[in-house]
Structure 1
Amino acid sequence: MVTINYETIQFIKRPRTLLLIALVAISIASVAVFGLQEGLDLQGGSMINLHLSEAVDQDTMNTVTAILDKRLNAFGISDVKVRQSGSQDVIVEIAGVKPEEVERIISTPGKFEAKINGQTAITGADISSVSAAEVTGNRWQVPFSVTTEGAEKFAKIAEGQAGAKVEMYLDDKLISDPELDAGLANGKASTEISVSGGEESKQAAQDKATEIHTVLESGALPVKLEVNGVNSVSAELGSQFEQGCLIAGLLALLAIIIVVSVKYKAPSLIIPIVITTLSELIIILGFASIIHWNLDLAAIAGMIASIGTGVDDQIVMTDEVLARRDRSDRKNIVKTRIKGAFFIIYASAGTLIAAMLPLAYIGFVRGSTGIGMLTGFAVTTVVGVLIGIFITRPVFADYMETFLIQSPKNKMQNVKKGETKVRDKKKGRKTIAREEAERKKKRR
């Protein structure tokens, strides 16, 4: 039967320990329910950088991103992310789709016009809904509905123009020019209209119909944009990256265990350091899961860096406590040493965060291109450091105060005795004999 001593119960009851346990449990549940959102370099996909023709305000940028998101979803792409990068760039991330399949869709301004004898009868703003595209052989047709105002405007211009060409333009390019039916030239408003055309093959007709349907349904972009760059990672390469990250993480954990074991040799210190490190890692993953943060290679590198910083901090705290040989007033000594260690830890954390913030800012301004790709590294490192100094380090300090402040037979003394034995082994026999003789003289 496993028994828990009084010190352990008191340690678990401490508010900071309970908070850590709760956060670890919540993080595990979050990862289990929401999962981890992998970046494109882990799951495979493409990142397309779109550059707007001019800088725009936030409202216009919101319109651009909303239209692009609507277009890509209408095009049949479900796993897509569209986000702004500054005031003149948009980043589009797609998974499992070749970039050339969507470049044309997202870079098309989508300006639609229907003209009769040079007069604009309908614009994209008049379209209220778009029906499913129809393909018969190599012919395609996209029916759509217009608003009442649009229908009245079309009826007025089309009246008496039976047989005239209805020239339909998309981004100033003629896509269809059917003859005006007599039923639409009688001056009566009709909200049901269609655009149609023919291609060289059925597949080409299907592709054209899908493109026209997508652009008409999403509407026109308020500004022109162009593709400024495309980064692609295959699914196979992403899987290799994922396996590599897992191996790197396990090796890092193994290295931590080896270094700490060699340095302290006492399970009472090794196990808490490892548990604290794992807790910090779990909380970081839980945080990423809750906010749907992309875990790309840069973010994983930042996670490993923050974990390494955490282990360094725990070693600093442990060394500060074990450095004092005086056994008198042990409780005050340990607390004073821990306070001194925390001063070093806070100073180090502040320096690291200050170094990471400019990198994070550049990433948010420039987006995931160039140096901005390191945003994940900066943000994950900062989050890991903050979790460490405010949650896991204080709990580790509580552990040392609880279990290393005891009688002379406590674990701290055992560790020091172990160190003394190692030093004694390094002494020569003559030195040990001389010290023993001196002690006997003092007793006499």
Structure 2
Amino acid sequence: MSAIGSIKANWRVLLLVVFLTVALVALFLPGGVMGGEETYPTNESDSSMHNLEFGLGLDGGTKISAPVVGMHVSEVSVDAEGTQLDRRGQEIQATVSEELDLETGDALVRTDHQNGEVSVEVFTGNVSEAEFAAALQEAGIDVAEEDVEQGVTQATRDDIQTTIQLRINEAGLSGSQVSQAEMDGTYYIVTEAPAMTTEELQSLLEYRGIVEIVMHYPDGEGGQQNETALVQQDFGSIGTASYNGEEGYDYVPVTVNPGPAEEYQQAMVENGFTQNPSSCNYGNPEARGSNYCLLTVVDGEVIDAHSVAPTLASSMERGEWANGGQFQMITPSQQEAQTLSINLRAGELRAPLDFDRAQTYMISPALAEQFKNYSLLIGILAVLTVSGVVYVRYGDRRVALPMIVTALSEVVILLGVAALLRMPLDLSHVAGFIAVVGTGVDDLVIIADEVLDEGDVNSRRVFESRFRKAFWVIGAAAATTIIAMSPLAVLSLGDLRGFAIITILGVLVGVLITRPAYGDILRRLLTDK
């Protein structure tokens, strides 16, 4: 038989070999199939041997489920459209913020241009439904107290979920995941972070991350005034936390977008900052009325105050600084710089989480290590048990050995998929793998029994006929399993979701790759060449 003919006859086996090779590369090659450097580090204890990531059950860590603070009214009709609708939304937001005396970022109006409607939200627990309704009426929106709903909109929850996931990735927390869950009508943001204590995870989640650069300068009457100069959206590229060894300070390098950079440069010149460099004594009562300080403000708290450097002042005076827009946000410590960099990269948390009503679940790393060892032991025992039963059942190595190897290949391919997708494996996934081994061997037994139903088979035509009959049975069973598991894989049902996903993936890999390959191997071993 020619090489091309041999490939055509055994293409299913070759396909299995290709998938196994890709899976092994994804599992063990540094960087995996995608190659290149990782965007964030993996768990140090595991990255040296493989590319798998583990969740709470196998790595330890903390899970916090917390509702979002806020209330809202949705789908309120407004007599405006286009840019007028956007302008009307800004007016409503400003009026609500003023009436309720809200902090920056505690009010939000979303506009729906298609229907000419707005949704208004406030993110604070210090306002009653009656007060919110009254503020909306003051803004020209006819709503009653019973129209106000507790909680925030789905769009806001999605924003929060995305921001938290970005924060976790920027912080280098491998294997973490963020999701949403609904319990008794209340929506929760669920954050899982392996290798983190409850205090560490809560510290990461409790900051809104609203970053501002505020100009603090004399008001001309012996006092000082504050004016917001730059907000989070004004920054373009954001660097990592750095240290200036010559000057001895920590900072985050950023680049200001062209438009805001021009406005910032002009404001610095007009307010006297460029004429008064190195003249910041923030917090000194004796210097009141003569301070020219740039304040780095996070969530309304001043974390650093510093003067304008002479070189920066000269560049702004000449109108050159805005061409590049490079800026250093100085912080008092390296930890503050790292936190600031994460907040800037991930963006601000749209609304705060209510930790007073949060549910916390924690597994110690030592206990998780036991779970990991037990999972490995159970997996090995399952393989050995299945192998023994199969060999006793057939007593023919030509049938039993390919069956065992094919079943193990299915597990390796699934592990490769998990490594490729950076899926954090947990105890539910381990249960799925064990189920895949069992159901996979069941299907292979069906193939072997059908093929050997009337004794040895020497004719390839007879073999193909029997194999197709067995494969129809396997295909129908696979379709039933996928249909049954699909709701569990889609709905937020905790650990059941991981079990369902692995089971579905295992069934697909089996039907499309491993079962056909096993059929080709049996045909080659049992029929005349």
TM-score range, shorter chain: 0.5 to 0.7
**Among 201, 206, 209, which residue is 1:107 paired with?**
206
| Pair 1:27 & 2:20 matched | no
- Taking only aligned residues, the RMSD between alpha carbons, in angstroms, comes to 4.7
Q: Which runs of 5+ in 2 are unaligned?
A: 33-49, 70-151, 217-223, 277-287, 311-316
Match of residue 289 from structure 2: 162
Which deviations, in whole Å up to 9, do the C-alpha atoms of 1:84-124 show, x marking residues without a partner?
54897655443433231242232211235648667643453
1:231 match: secondary structure: strand
Q: Answer yes or no: is the 8 Å Cα contact 2:458–2:527 preserved in 1.
A: no
Match of residue 53 from structure 2: 38
Amino acid of the residue matched to residue 400 of structure 1?
Answer: L
> How far does residue 308 in structure 1 lie from its aligned partner after superposition?
0.8
Alpha-carbon distance in 1 for matches of 2:370, 2:477: 35
Give the % identical residues.
26
- TM alignment of 1:185-204, pairs within 5 A: none
| Structure 1 residues 82 and 55: alpha-carbon distance in aligned structure 2, compared to 1, 3 A threshold | farther
Amino acid of the residue matched to residue 519 of structure 2?
Answer: A
| Pair 1:16 & 2:145 matched | no
Higher share of residues assigned helix: 1
> How far does residue 391 in structure 1 lie from its aligned partner after superposition?
1.6
> How far does residue 152 in structure 1 lie from its aligned partner after superposition?
4.3
**Among 336, 357, 366, which residue is 1:236 paired with?**
366
| Structure 1 residues 274 and 163: alpha-carbon distance in aligned structure 2, compared to 1, 3 A threshold | same
Q: Which runs of 5+ in 1 are unaligned?
A: 1-8, 198-204, 408-444
- TM alignment of 1:371-410, pairs within 5 A: 371-405=493-527
**Among 339, 342, 346, which residue is 2:475 paired with?**
346
Match of residue 315 from structure 1: 445
Alpha-carbon distance in 1 for matches of 2:469, 2:63: 47
Which deviations, in whole Å up to 9, do the C-alpha atoms of 1:309-350 show, x marking residues without a partner?
11111112222233336x999655544432322222111111
| Structure 1 residues 224 and 156: alpha-carbon distance in aligned structure 2, compared to 1, 3 A threshold | farther
| Structure 1 residues 282 and 156: alpha-carbon distance in aligned structure 2, compared to 1, 3 A threshold | same
Q: Answer yes or no: is the 8 Å Cα contact 2:251–2:329 preserved in 1.
A: yes
| Pair 1:358 & 2:480 matched | no
User: What TM-score results when the alignment is normalised by the length of structure 2?
Assistant: 0.57
- TM alignment of 1:82-121, pairs within 5 A: 83-85=178-180, 91-112=190-211, 114=214, 120-121=227-228
Alpha-carbon distance in 2 for matches of 1:142, 1:12: 62
Match of residue 69 from structure 1: 166
Alpha-carbon distance in 2 for matches of 1:152, 1:52: 39
> How far does residue 28 in structure 1 lie from its aligned partner after superposition?
2.3
| Structure 1 residues 253 and 329: alpha-carbon distance in aligned structure 2, compared to 1, 3 A threshold | closer
> How far does residue 351 in structure 1 lie from its aligned partner after superposition?
0.9
Aligned length: 377
- TM alignment of 1:203-218, pairs within 5 A: 215=343
| Pair 1:302 & 2:445 matched | no
> How far does residue 302 in structure 1 lie from its aligned partner after superposition?
0.9
> How far does residue 196 in structure 1 lie from its aligned partner after superposition?
8.0
2:424 match: secondary structure: coil
Alpha-carbon distance in 2 for matches of 1:282, 1:402: 24
2:444 match: secondary structure: helix
Which deviations, in whole Å up to 9, do the C-alpha atoms of 1:184-232 show, x marking residues without a partner?
xxxx8999797889xxxxxxx8866765675467653333334544433
> How far does residue 19 in structure 1 lie from its aligned partner after superposition?
1.7
Amino acid of the residue matched to residue 348 of structure 1?
Answer: A
Alpha-carbon distance in 1 for matches of 2:377, 2:517: 29
Alpha-carbon distance in 1 for matches of 2:498, 2:289: 61
Alpha-carbon distance in 2 for matches of 1:332, 1:179: 85
Asked which structure has the greater CA Rg, the reply is: 1
Q: Answer yes or no: is the 8 Å Cα contact 1:11–1:398 preserved in 2.
A: no
Q: Answer yes or no: is the 8 Å Cα contact 2:457–2:526 preserved in 1.
A: no
1:57 match: secondary structure: helix
| Structure 1 residues 245 and 36: alpha-carbon distance in aligned structure 2, compared to 1, 3 A threshold | farther
Alpha-carbon distance in 2 for matches of 1:352, 1:132: 50
| Pair 1:254 & 2:384 matched | yes
Q: Answer yes or no: is the 8 Å Cα contact 1:61–1:84 preserved in 2.
A: no
Amino acid of the residue matched to residue 289 of structure 2?
Answer: A
Q: Answer yes or no: is the 8 Å Cα contact 1:37–1:289 preserved in 2.
A: yes
> How far does residue 247 in structure 1 lie from its aligned partner after superposition?
0.7
Which deviations, in whole Å up to 9, do the C-alpha atoms of 1:242-272 show, x marking residues without a partner?
2111111110111112211222222222222
| Pair 1:222 & 2:350 matched | yes
Alpha-carbon distance in 1 for matches of 2:458, 2:509: 32
| Structure 1 residues 315 and 150: alpha-carbon distance in aligned structure 2, compared to 1, 3 A threshold | same
Q: Answer yes or no: is the 8 Å Cα contact 1:356–1:382 preserved in 2.
A: yes
| Structure 1 residues 101 and 281: alpha-carbon distance in aligned structure 2, compared to 1, 3 A threshold | closer
Which deviations, in whole Å up to 9, do the C-alpha atoms of 1:40-63 show, x marking residues without a partner?
2223333444544423439x8468
Match of residue 35 from structure 2: none
Match of residue 5 from structure 1: none
Amino acid of the residue matched to residue 510 of structure 2?
Answer: G
Match of residue 39 from structure 2: none
| Structure 1 residues 165 and 231: alpha-carbon distance in aligned structure 2, compared to 1, 3 A threshold | farther
Match of residue 419 from structure 1: none
Match of residue 77 from structure 2: none
| Structure 1 residues 14 and 50: alpha-carbon distance in aligned structure 2, compared to 1, 3 A threshold | same
User: What TM-score results when the alignment is normalised by the length of structure 1?
Assistant: 0.67
Q: Answer yes or no: is the 8 Å Cα contact 2:457–2:463 preserved in 1.
A: no
**Among 231, 252, 262, which residue is 1:124 paired with?**
231
> How far does residue 234 in structure 1 lie from its aligned partner after superposition?
2.5
> How far does residue 21 in structure 1 lie from its aligned partner after superposition?
2.3
Amino acid of the residue matched to residue 381 of structure 1?
Answer: T
Match of residue 109 from structure 2: none
Q: Answer yes or no: is the 8 Å Cα contact 1:11–1:17 preserved in 2.
A: no
